[in-house]
Structure formats: structure tokens, C-alpha cells
Structure 1
Amino acid sequence: MPFFSIIIPLYNKEKNIAKTIQSVFDQDCIDFELIIINDGSTDKSEKVVTSFIDERIQYFLTENKGVANARNLGIAKAKGELIAFLDADDYWYPNHLTVLSKLYKKFPDVGLLATSYEKRFSTKSIFLANFKNINASSNSLMIVDDFFDSSSIDAIAWTSACAVPKSVFNTIKDFDSSITHGEDTDLWIRIALQYKVALATYLTATYNLDAKNRSKEIDIKKKTFLKFEKFEKEEKHNISLKKYLDVNRYSIALEHKISGDHISSKKYCKNIHWKNLHWKNRLLIKQPKTILLLLKKVQTTLIHVLGIKLSSFK
């Protein structure tokens, strides 16, 4: 029985998947199985995957049902004690599984394990994740005191840098397949409400935001978002959760406003306690679509050309 089950959901990533898979086989820790779920790709992704010959690979081809269903199938097939997730255009440094293993051995009763990661916008623009009140490069193993508060800038739990004990899914259940945008956030909230979260502040993974067909390029009308009503009871009594959810509400509201859907934007805004957000957030949401598009273009130019990353969350 492998210690790790690694799950890669795959949809039309022929240009990225080879590097992603190779980053798995470059791991210092070799006690794993690799489960690749091809979610109905129409490009040459399958050809790339089948070019790797290794008995640790399990490959499944399904009809296109979305990333949550693909991950859930992987979870059902997994035999390992720890399930590690990796998206098909992200990649790991060789220490990733070793760090997760050390973290789990130190904190065996947690429900979620995470590591530090970097966000890659281009070859010139790579930024270490910014966790609130936690030094992401301190090379420490810790229990996160307040998962929701610490995730108010960059998320403590980013899917390609996370692992979950398989036993946790017996209690929490799987990814919510009715959500197409934020299904991972939904799962992390459910876990964090019932279990402790452990973090290793070692850089082990790269979030490849330069890759094509990321979810932001999908028509907003085709997305189903985080179902905030699931946590209505908990957020009334958990200040940090309420703030965390408000940050997510704001992000969705802003996305709708930029797309021109003012009705949906206002729907998400009405449940926000604005004191929970930075003054820059409050200013931005009041701007017309034309200004928001201009600011977004400026932000993109600063990141890709000058390597300057601006955020309205700090």
C-alpha cells in the first residue's frame, strides 16, 4: 500500500502535463501511486500521459464532468494513507512529499496539511505566498491557530500544495461537484471547521498562473460559485470565518461587476460586512466597469513586465 495517493485531474493540458508528471517522479519520496483522471480531454493530453511508463501510474479516461468529479473519482480509487492533490499545470519541487510526510508524522490527527507555495505569473514574476501573520519561508512545522484569518491575503490551503488523510473524507465527504468555481475552498472550509490544519512553511510547489485555460477564462455564466448558505450558521458565531467568507463574496462580486452582471454583483455584496475588508476593496467595488477593466490591465502589465504585484487585500 502506498503512503501517498497523488490525484491529478486532467482536461486539455497537453502543453503542461508532462512537466507536472515529471515533477511527481522527481520527488525525493517515492512511496506513492499517481492517479490521473482524464476528464474528457479533446487535445493530445492522453498521448502525453501514456508516454510515461511507470507501474505507479493509474490512468482513467472519463467523460467531461468537471474537476470536482474527477478528483472524487481519484479519491475513490486511492489506496494511500494521505491524498495529495496536484493540478495538471502546476508542479512540485522535489521536497514536496517529504515535507508533507514530516508534517503528518508530527501532527497525525489533523484534517488538512499544507505547504508554502509560489505564484508564477511569468518567468519574470514569481511571488511567494503571503499568509497573514505567518512567515511563509520560515521552514517551520506548525498548527495554524486561525485558518480563516491566516488565509485573508493568500490562502493557507491551495489545492496543489495540500494533502488530506483519506480517513477524513469518511467524515467530511468529497468535493461538492455542484460547484465549478470554489469547490476546493468549500472543502477546506468544511475540514477546517472540524479539524486542525497543519502548515509547513517550506517552499514546495508552484502555482502556475501563466498556464492557459485557467478557470478565470471561463464565461462567468457557466460558473457555479461557493454556496455561502452552507456556512450561514457557523459564520454567525465565528468572526474569522465571516471575514473569510466576506473576502470570497467580494471577489465573486467584483468578478461579476467586471463581466457586466451588476445584479449578481449586488447580490453578493448585500451580505458583506464591509468592515471586514480593506479600504481598497471598498473603493474598487464602487468603480464602474470601464475603470475596473483599466485597473486590471495596469495590474497585469505591472506583474508581467515590471514584476510588481499589487493587491487590494493588504
Structure 2
Amino acid sequence: MTCVSVIVPLYNKAAFIRRTLDSILAQTMPDLEVVVVDDGSTDGGAAIVDGVDDGRIRLVHQKNQGPGAARNRGLEMAHGDYVAFLDADDEWLPDFLAVTLQHLKQRPDCALCLTGQYRGENRSDWGKTLMALGLTSGQWRLPTELSRDQHKPNLDVLHSGAIVCDRNVIHRFGGFYDKDRCTYGEDIYLWLQVVLNYPIYRDLRPLMWYHTEASDLAVWNQVRPPWPMLLEPEPIRRRCPQPYRPILENILNTYAAIAAYRATTVEDLATANRLFEAFPDARQEMFQDWRKRVDYLIANVPNLRRTLKGFKGDRSQRQS
């Protein structure tokens, strides 16, 4: 059996897919297969994949259903004991698979291994950022108690392109969230369930390169929708071991507070209030920052935010 199956969801990334495939085929651990799932691309990316002369690559096509569905289709075709996922605009450093697989084979109780990453054209080392927030390399198990400011950093590190996971573990949780062509948070829906149930290994050295400059999700000023784990949390709750249920609720409330504030900034009070209703502690958590409380109150008054913006703009013009 092949040691590792690499799954690449492809959607309109013709400009980058060859670079991604080259980084996979250049791995120092050659016992791999590559399953590229063309998710209804219209830019000729699939033809580029077809033109790569390497028997380890398989290309399959489907109608556009989103990255979760594309990864799940690849999982159905995977033969490896382990699976890894690399988006069609990112790349691995040559030792990524060799290092992660060595960690996993030395620690069979760990469900997955993740690494640090470079980010953007300037190759900033995101691992250093995470270490400054208190994260460390080594075997790690989600504690039953974790301060709220540590919830998001310890989940943000679970970047799909920097993970190698036991294939059976992924199947246990049904793969990635794939409803309604979800394009945001479909991966953390899976990884949260994994860390609630298993220890993992973290090697924060940068062994993959997340090309934020090429990513549709890396437009930092866009307002993203709520994470699927907030919209459909019950499967996660059912699969959560009893000792971890309190921290799961804390994590959900933390993410609900973030999503509610994002909605507030675009005056989407319907979404914010639905999140507060579903996760009652999120309101208090968001309001711990007085500026967010003011933003929420302003957004609740029709047209007041636009009036204040206009007043601020007029005042700036008068001062100039």
C-alpha cells in the first residue's frame, strides 16, 4: 500500500498548479500518490495537470461543489495509510512529508502531525508568531482547561496544507464539511473534532509555504461568514468526549463572539443576534472590549453608523 495520499483540490488555479505539483513530486519521501480533484475549473488548470508526466498523479473531475467536497472526493480514492492536503496555490518544502511521517511513526498514538509554515511573498515564519503566543513543538493534547485567548491560536495552527493525518481518523469524523459549497471553515470543522479526541504532534518549523498572495481567502478586509462549526455544532458535540465538553462550549462561544463582531461591522445584526442566541456566552465575551460594545450598539440604531461616518468625513474635509 502507498504510504501517503496527497489530495489537491483544484479550482481555477491554473497559474499555480504546476508549482504545487512540482513541490509534491520533489518530496524526499517518494512513496506517495497524488489525487488532484478538479472542482469544475474553467481556466485550463486540469489540462496542466494532465500534461505532467508522472504515474503517481491521478486527475478526477466533478462539478463545482467547494473545497470540502473536493477533498472528500479525493479521500474516497485515496489508498495511503496517511493522507495530506495541499491547496493548488501552495507548496511544500522538500522534507515536509519525510519529517511529518517520521513523527507519526515514532508516536503511533498521535492522529496527525502538523508543521509551521511560511506565509506570503516575503516568506514570513508563522511559527515564530505562534511560539510568541505560547505554542510549542512536541506532542500535544488539548487540555480540558485553556484560557480564552489561547483558543484560536491553538486551532489556527491546524492549517490543512501543513497536516498529515491517519486516514482512518479522518473517516471516523466523516471528512471535511461539504454542505452548500462551503468555502470557509470547512477544514476546522474536521480538525477540531480530531483534537478533541486524539493527541497530535506539532513541529512548528516552517515546512510548507502558504501563498497568501494567491489565496482567495487571504483578502484580510473581507467579512467572512460564520464558521460551519457554529452553524451545525451538534455532530461535533455528539463526538466530543465528556471531559472535553466544557472546553468545546468555550471554544464555540469564542468563535461565535468573533463571528458576531464581524457581522456587526457590516451591520448584519440578524446574524450577530442569531449567534448570541445560539451561544449565550458569546455576547459577554464580545462585550469585554468596550469598542466592540459601542460598534454593536451603533449598528443597532438604523443609519447611525452611516451618519457618524459621514460626519467624520465632513470634519476631515473641513480640517484639511
For residues 262 and 85 of structure 1, the distance between their equivalents in structure 2, rounded to whole angstroms, comes to: 36
SS class of match (1:146)? coil
Name the amino acid aligned to 2:167.
K
SS class of match (1:205)? strand
For residues 38 and 166 of structure 1, the distance between their equivalents in structure 2, rounded to whole angstroms, comes to: 21
- The yes-or-no answer on 1:185 pairing with 2:188 is yes
| Pairs aligned (count) | 287
Aligned identity (percent) is 23
TM-score by length of 2: 0.77
| Per-residue CA distance 1:192-239 (angstroms, 9 max, x = gap) | 22222222222111222211433869x979987333532457599644
Structure with max Cα Rg:
2
- In structure 2, the partner of 1:16 is 16
For residues 283 and 130 of structure 2, the distance between their equivalents in structure 1, rounded to whole angstroms, comes to: 21
- The yes-or-no answer on 1:96 pairing with 2:96 is yes
For residues 281 and 244 of structure 2, the distance between their equivalents in structure 1, rounded to whole angstroms, comes to: 14
For residues 18 and 272 of structure 1, the distance between their equivalents in structure 2, rounded to whole angstroms, comes to: 47
Unaligned runs of 5+ in 1: 295-314
**Equivalent of 1:213, from 212, 216, 221?**
216
Check the 8 A contact 1:147/1:197 in 2, yes or no. Answer: no
SS class of match (2:15)? coil
- In structure 1, the partner of 2:313 is none
**CA, structure 1 residues 147+103, in 2 after alignment: closer, same or farther (shift >3 Å)?**
farther
Unaligned runs of 5+ in 2: 300-304, 310-320
Check the 8 A contact 1:112/1:192 in 2, yes or no. Answer: no
Match runs of 1:88-167 below 5 Å: 88-120=88-120, 122-123=121-122, 127-128=126-127, 129-130=129-130, 132-135=133-136, 140-146=137-143, 149=146, 151-153=151-153, 155-167=156-168
- In structure 1, the partner of 2:74 is 74
For residues 278 and 112 of structure 1, the distance between their equivalents in structure 2, rounded to whole angstroms, comes to: 32
Farther-moved stretch of structure 1 (255-264 vs 197-206): 255-264
Name the amino acid aligned to 2:233.
E
Deviation at 1:104, TM superposition (A): 0.5
Name the amino acid aligned to 1:283.
R
SS class of match (2:153)? coil
For residues 182 and 242 of structure 1, the distance between their equivalents in structure 2, rounded to whole angstroms, comes to: 17
Q: Which of the pair is proportionally richer in helix?
A: 2
**CA, structure 1 residues 209+215, in 2 after alignment: closer, same or farther (shift >3 Å)?**
closer
| Per-residue CA distance 1:85-128 (angstroms, 9 max, x = gap) | 111112111121011111111211222221122332x4376643
Check the 8 A contact 1:117/1:206 in 2, yes or no. Answer: yes
- The yes-or-no answer on 1:229 pairing with 2:233 is yes
**CA, structure 1 residues 229+144, in 2 after alignment: closer, same or farther (shift >3 Å)?**
closer
Deviation at 1:263, TM superposition (A): 1.0
- In structure 2, the partner of 1:197 is 200
Deviation at 1:75, TM superposition (A): 0.6
- In structure 2, the partner of 1:240 is 247
Deviation at 1:38, TM superposition (A): 0.3
- In structure 2, the partner of 1:176 is 177
Deviation at 1:254, TM superposition (A): 3.0
Check the 8 A contact 2:225/2:259 in 1, yes or no. Answer: no
TM-score by length of 1: 0.78
Check the 8 A contact 2:2/2:79 in 1, yes or no. Answer: yes
**CA, structure 1 residues 98+284, in 2 after alignment: closer, same or farther (shift >3 Å)?**
farther
Deviation at 1:9, TM superposition (A): 0.5
Deviation at 1:39, TM superposition (A): 0.3
For residues 282 and 158 of structure 1, the distance between their equivalents in structure 2, rounded to whole angstroms, comes to: 31
**CA, structure 1 residues 63+205, in 2 after alignment: closer, same or farther (shift >3 Å)?**
same
- In structure 1, the partner of 2:314 is none
Name the amino acid aligned to 1:186.
Y
For residues 177 and 116 of structure 1, the distance between their equivalents in structure 2, rounded to whole angstroms, comes to: 26
Name the amino acid aligned to 1:30.
P
Deviation at 1:272, TM superposition (A): 5.1
Name the amino acid aligned to 1:165.
D
**Equivalent of 1:263, from 242, 266, 270?**
270
For residues 272 and 20 of structure 1, the distance between their equivalents in structure 2, rounded to whole angstroms, comes to: 43
- In structure 2, the partner of 1:305 is none
Deviation at 1:41, TM superposition (A): 0.3
- In structure 2, the partner of 1:33 is 33
